[in-house]
Every structure is written in structure tokens, then in C-alpha cells.
Structure 1
Amino acid sequence: MATTLVIAAAPVRLPSGPAFPPGRHGFGGTPPIRAILQQDEDCTKPSTTVAEAKPWTRSALGLTRSWRLSRGAGVLVAVVDTGVDGSTPAPADQVDAVGAASKDCVGHGSFAAGLIAAAPQPGTGVVGIAPAARVLSVSLDARDALTEAVAYATEHDALVVAPAAPDIAPSESGSSRPDPTAWPYFLAFIPQVLFVADYGPQGGRPEGAPQPFAPDLAAPGDSVVSVGPGGEGHFIGSGSSLAAANVAGAAALVRARSPELSAGQTVDRLEHSAYPSDVPRLDLYVALSSVGGADRATAPRGASAQVELPEPHSQVPRTRAVAIAASAGIFLAPLVAAMVVVPRGRARSWRSAGR
């Protein structure tokens, strides 16, 4: 079973802040999602705002035509975050959890899981990139344990995605401030990780956003809308961790459509098909319709991708998805065990994966 591991809130620390200024994102009244709570704060309350319109990310990612090729069936996405609330309607039937990760007092993990795999709901245009994928909710805060989990995952052909910059806290004036304590939590020393930077509806990043650390790819991550803990309402958020969630969803679509690709080849596909920019931007449809898959360690960076234009409503993705789903239980158990019980601090011999 193809697996993608997205490291969302675990490597970042986001101070709480007030709501986004009205009119900045087109979803007035939508409450902001948090990554952590202050000691005197209660758990995040369910949102009472339902976003009826389609978020800008649907057109930016080309989801309508991309879903003709793949919806992520048979792929497992492990979300290392604050947990995923099992009572959230949109992704509820698609989520498994390890221990306490079935609860989400903060809400950030539920938000990220919704970006990846939220199912369509009546009365709203909010839906995940890979609505047929499954989500595994995991909570790991200790750096050593997280590093060990990433090591095990990459050794077993799991694609690992992480944010390339700390998330930011919005202020009442519309400016944003990074949390300086976030940097020590970053996984920048691990060459196997795909690092993702964020951008917003206007193509740029928020004012005051910290510079990303050596990003491999950029994806929508600012003023993005998703589900949250409890209820049927929606939240809005910004940050590289949310862009990483969107790339994880994109990787799920690619791995479902092309299960013969290794994790490294999938990264190559995402990078080589990306739209040229200072930081290459995710081009999901081109990634899905490309053919071939040179290994990440040998493929020349910047090589042009060949594009295959399938017939409308092709049955090929559906047939492959069934074959992948049949092996769903094979990979889950060892990955969960590694994330939870792998001894901390055990020295490993890291090998570069072509970076």
C-alpha cells in the first residue's frame, strides 16, 4: 500500500492569535485554526460558519479535471499533528488513529486531514484533494521519536512531506509574526524529506512570513479553508504546514494513479512537472498525466515530464485503486509500530536521496 507521511504541526509552534481581518480571504466570519493553545485556553470550539463557496485552492490545483484521473483510493496518508477529531463529519469514515491521536483539542490536525481527504458534503464547496484516500492520525512531539519515525518511513518507501518554514500568527492589523521557537523543531537535516513552502490567492506569501528553508516545492497554503474539530463548520488557516498537507494530498493522487512509482519517483514526478518559479509550484494535473518515473537519485533536476492525455472517464485509475486497496493492511501495522515504539535516539546512517 502506498503511503505518504505528512509532518504538519509537529515541527512547528504557532502562538495563538486573533481572527483574520474581514475581507482578506473571501470567507468572512470563518474562524482561524490554531496550531497550539495557550495554557489558559480551552479546546477549540466547533465552527458555526459553513463555507458554501468553493475555496480558491480548487481552481488553483485544477481539482475538477485531476479527479478524472485519480481520487487517491488505496493510499494511506499519515498525519503527524495535534490529532484528528473522529467526530468531524467530512473525513470521519476515512480516519484511523493511534492512541490519543483520535482526539484533537487544538484542531490543527483535523484541519490538515480535511485538506488532504475531506469528503464532499452537501451545501459546501470545501473538499479534500484526495477524497478517497485514508488518513492515519499520529501524535509525536519528541524530536528523537519523530526523526526515528521518518527514518523508518523512508526506508519502507513512504513519501515524507514537511513544511519549509514556521507557520505564522495573524494579527488584528493584518500583519503576521513568526514564532522564533519553531526553528529547533524543523527536520531540515533529513535529506529524504520533501520540503514545501506556502503561497496565497494572489500568488505571494503573507506579510512578515519567515523565509522558507530550502523548499523543494510550493503549494497553496495561505487563506485555505478546511474542516475542524466537531461540528460541520469550517476554519481558515495559513502556513507552510498547510501547504505540506496539500502536497501530501497531491502525492496520494499520484501514487493511486501510478502505484508502480516509488516514493522517490513520486517526488520526481511532483518536482519535474511543477510550474517554473523561484520555488517550483505544484502542478497537479501535469503530475497526474505525466508518464515515466526516473528515480530521484538519478533523474536530472528540471528534466521535462512527458504528458499522457487519457480518454475522459478512464476506468484505469479505478481498476488500480481496487488492486491497491486489497493490500491495505500490509503496510499499516509496521508503520504505526515504528512511529510509536521505535527507540528514541538510536543512531542511524543517513544517506542522501539525491539532494
Structure 2
Amino acid sequence: MSAVVATWTVAAPAATADDMRSHQWYLDAMKADEMWKVATGKGITVAVIDTGVDGSLPELRGKVLPGRNVDTGGPGRIVDDSDRHGTNMALAIAGTGADGGVKGIAPGATILPVKVGDAWQSGSKTKFDGIRYAVDNGARVINISLGGDANAERTAEWRETVDYALKKGALIFAGSGNEGIGDPMYPASIPGVIAVGALDPNGKVAKFSNYGSHLALAAPGVKIPGRCLTDKNEDCFGDGTSQATAIASGTAALIWSAHPDWTGNQVLRVMMETAGHDGPVPSKYIGYGTVRPAQVLLEGKGNPGDPDVNPLLAARGVSTTPTSKASEPSQTSPSPENTGASGSDQAKDNGRAAESDEGGFPLWAIAASAVAVVAVIGLVVAAGVRRRASTDA
């Protein structure tokens, strides 16, 4: 299977760049405009471990750190993102919306690009080195919209790398996969990694979204705008757990920027407690539910709890060592506005329908109150995806 896990499934060109914000349905559903008055992600560095990031785009200008190209072993050519996958993830996370372009869920966050390219699939240690590089250079949130088949020979290296990042205080988000199956993949299946599933505009689990006991959270992953592969100045829509992962990562950055003294464990705990769901948790389709940062930023919900206990690992009965707070970002991006988001949905195991606890997507946009979920999760995280679902953008 391809190591290309993050799927930027281009559906069709969007109308025009000057009205892209009107196509970002999930921002409205998550009450983004209101949340951005509280927090924008400013002060938080999100590492995008992917195909590179083109920081020359209007929405990313001044927001992208130099980063590193672990594919070639040097710092250069990060902007040469011929696949445009990493760039689109960065847009979904921290795009400013400049010149009518894409607005990220955390427009004030800083992006640290770590280009892995073909190295992701290779037997080299570059992917592991990339994650270590990210946390050593101030990334509090690590977005991995990539993945591949689980390989027992690599399990020890994955566990060591994830453990290293957790001890540094970082949060790692990874796509669950785009095959619509329950087979585990790396890195989403590694304990401690936050596996993310995808939802459509109706608040239902996307048919392509992989599932299983490893799922931790879900986020919007259908009809997400970005730049086309053929023309970086043209906008397209994409589908995939890659996009869902980017939005979940941006959500963490948003909450963390509002509570800079929290540890990653506390940020994750409130994300889990305030996740939208309808039924028993965790669900094999959306884990603890849909990310709803508005519950935290606008309603003040979620108990951060013990700063040294990882809620996912604790629920699984895995012993954890106290994690230190991540180092401060080496650089802060110019913060445009504030970011916030919130949607509530839960997948029903029989029909894969993620109903929000307000009654479905229409109430998502209203974003009423929700029942807080006690955060404890069994995580055998599976399926880190990044399969091309069609044409990459």
C-alpha cells in the first residue's frame, strides 16, 4: 500500500479565491469567528510533517519557519511542495485568509515544516528524525497527515519516537486512514498518538474514514478547501482524514494558545471531555467524539486535570512518565485573528452516522450545549493514512 496517507482528494475547483471563506462550512459550524475573539493559536508552533510547505502563498506569508528537509538531509527546498499536500495541511491549520484565500482554524499559529517526501515510505529513519527535530525545535503540536501499513519491525522505533515527543510535552495527531476499513496503520496505531477520523458536512462519518479501537477524535474532513496541484493559485476541495487531522491539530493549537500554562495532557483532556458525541464512548468510528473547541473557549467547559497524566494512555492502562512542558516556540508568527471551532457529532457503530448530541449537523452550526465526556480512552491507535483518494491537491 502507498505510504501516501494524507489524502487531498480534489473534488472540483472551488468558485474563486475571493470567496473561499464562504465555502469553509466547518468554520461556521465550529463558531470560529466568535472563538477568534478569544484565541487564534498565537504563540503555538505546529509542525507539519509532510511533503513540504509553500510559505510564499498569501495565507501563509510570514507564518512558516525555515524547517528542515529530512528527505534530503538538509534545511533547503522546503517550499518545493510539488504534491501540495503539506501546503494544504498548513492552510487548514493556520491560513490567514489573506487575499480571499483559505482561513485556518488557528490563523495565529506558526507552522514548522518538516519535509519527509519519499522518505516516509523508505526504510530509513528520516521520519523518526523528523518528529524528533520538530519537538526539539519548539513544536507543541505535531501534525502527521501521512502514514503507512503497520510493520512489526518498526514498532520499537515508533514507540521510542512517540515516547520522546510525549516526554517533551508535545501532542501528536495522525490520520486514521482513507480506506474505510479497520486495519491499523502507522503512526496512528501507536499508543500515545491521537488518531483522527473524518466527518462530512452533515456531521456523519465519511465513508472513507478508517475506524477501530485506536480512534481518539474526529473532525471535519470532507469538502475542505485548499490549493490545486495543477495551479497553486486555483482553489480545490479535498476529502480525507488528512484534512480532519489538520483541523484537529489546529484546534489543539487554538486551545493551547488560550491556556499557555497547560501541558499537552491537559489540552488533550479537555478536547476529549468536550468532544461531541451521541452514545457510548469511545466509539470505533470517532473515538471520544468530534472536536469542539468552542466548548472550551466560549463555554469554559472541560477540566484540564492532572498535568502529568496522558488521558489516552491512562485509559488504556499504560504507565506514563511525567511529561515536561514543551519548549516555547522558537518564533511566533504574526497573528492575524483568533481561532476557534466547535462541532458536535458522534458515530453510531451500526450506521456510521455521527450524530451530534444536539441532533445532527444543523445543530452543529448552532453549537448548543453538550454533555462533557469523561476522558479516558483505550488506544491501540491504528491506521495513519495518507492514501491518495484520487488526485492530490
TM-score normalised to the size of structure 1? 0.65
After superposition, the Cα gap between the structure-2 partners of 1:208 and 1:291, relative to the gap in structure 1 and judged at 3 Å, is: closer
Tell me what 1:162 maps to. 174
Does 1:245 find its partner at 2:246? yes
Tell me what 1:76 maps to. 45
CA contact (8 A) 1:197 1:240 kept: yes
Separation in structure 2 between the aligned mates of residue 210 and residue 298 of structure 1, nearest angstrom: 22
Relative contact order (C-alpha < 8 Å, sep 6+): which is higher?
2
CA contact (8 A) 1:130 1:250 kept: yes
After superposition, the Cα gap between the structure-2 partners of 1:246 and 1:103, relative to the gap in structure 1 and judged at 3 Å, is: same
SS in structure 2 opposite 1:216? Answer: strand
Separation in structure 2 between the aligned mates of residue 64 and residue 53 of structure 1, nearest angstrom: 12
Does 1:226 find its partner at 2:226? yes
Task: List aligned pairs for 1:1-355, cutoff 5 A.
Answer: 12=5, 19-20=10-11, 29-30=13-14, 51=20, 53-96=22-65, 97-98=67-68, 99=75, 100-124=77-101, 126-140=102-116, 141=120, 142=122, 144=125, 145-146=127-128, 147=158, 149-164=161-176, 166-167=177-178, 178=179, 185-211=185-211, 214-227=214-227, 231-277=232-278, 278=283, 279=286, 280-288=289-297, 289-290=300-301, 292-295=303-306, 296-297=309-310, 327-329=328-330, 355=379
SS in structure 2 opposite 1:290? Answer: coil
Query: Which amino acid counterpart does residue 90 of structure 1 have in structure 2?
Result: E
SS in structure 1 opposite 2:242? Answer: helix
Query: Which amino acid counterpart does residue 219 of structure 2 have in structure 1?
Result: A
SS in structure 2 opposite 1:136? Answer: strand
Separation in structure 2 between the aligned mates of residue 51 and residue 213 of structure 1, nearest angstrom: 35
Give 1:160 shift.
0.8
Query: Which amino acid counterpart does residue 134 of structure 1 have in structure 2?
Result: T
Give 1:190 shift.
2.1
Separation in structure 2 between the aligned mates of residue 52 and residue 65 of structure 1, nearest angstrom: 15
SS in structure 2 opposite 1:246? Answer: helix
Separation in structure 2 between the aligned mates of residue 197 and residue 56 of structure 1, nearest angstrom: 18
User: 1:321-343 CA distances to partner (integer Å, 9 max, x unpaired)?
Assistant: xxx9x943299xxxxxxxxxxxx
After superposition, the Cα gap between the structure-2 partners of 1:101 and 1:183, relative to the gap in structure 1 and judged at 3 Å, is: farther
Give 1:241 shift.
1.5
Structure 1 stretch 287-296 or stretch 187-196: which is displaced more? 287-296
The gaps in structure 2 that reach 5 residues or longer are 69-74, 129-157, 316-324, 333-375, 380-393
CA RMSD of aligned residues (A): 3.6
After superposition, the Cα gap between the structure-2 partners of 1:102 and 1:235, relative to the gap in structure 1 and judged at 3 Å, is: same
Separation in structure 2 between the aligned mates of residue 62 and residue 227 of structure 1, nearest angstrom: 24
Tell me what 2:346 maps to. none
After superposition, the Cα gap between the structure-2 partners of 1:330 and 1:57, relative to the gap in structure 1 and judged at 3 Å, is: closer
Query: Which amino acid counterpart does residue 61 of structure 1 have in structure 2?
Result: M
TM-score normalised to the size of structure 2? 0.59
Give 1:212 shift.
5.0
Give 1:30 shift.
3.0
CA contact (8 A) 2:196 2:218 kept: yes
SS in structure 2 opposite 1:112? Answer: helix
Query: Which amino acid counterpart does residue 136 of structure 1 have in structure 2?
Result: L
Give 1:215 shift.
1.0
Separation in structure 2 between the aligned mates of residue 11 and residue 152 of structure 1, nearest angstrom: 24
SS in structure 2 opposite 1:197? Answer: strand
After superposition, the Cα gap between the structure-2 partners of 1:213 and 1:242, relative to the gap in structure 1 and judged at 3 Å, is: farther
Query: Which amino acid counterpart does residue 29 of structure 1 have in structure 2?
Result: P
Separation in structure 2 between the aligned mates of residue 211 and residue 246 of structure 1, nearest angstrom: 18
Query: Which amino acid counterpart does residue 267 of structure 1 have in structure 2?
Result: L
CA contact (8 A) 1:81 1:137 kept: yes
SS in structure 2 opposite 1:89? Answer: coil
SS in structure 2 opposite 1:191? Answer: coil
Separation in structure 1 between the aligned mates of residue 52 and residue 212 of structure 2, nearest angstrom: 25
Alignment coverage as a number of residue pairs: 267
Separation in structure 2 between the aligned mates of residue 66 and residue 52 of structure 1, nearest angstrom: 16
Give 1:236 shift.
1.3
After superposition, the Cα gap between the structure-2 partners of 1:213 and 1:61, relative to the gap in structure 1 and judged at 3 Å, is: same
CA contact (8 A) 1:221 1:240 kept: yes
Separation in structure 1 between the aligned mates of residue 254 and residue 50 of structure 2, nearest angstrom: 21
Give 1:179 shift.
9.4
Give 1:92 shift.
2.3
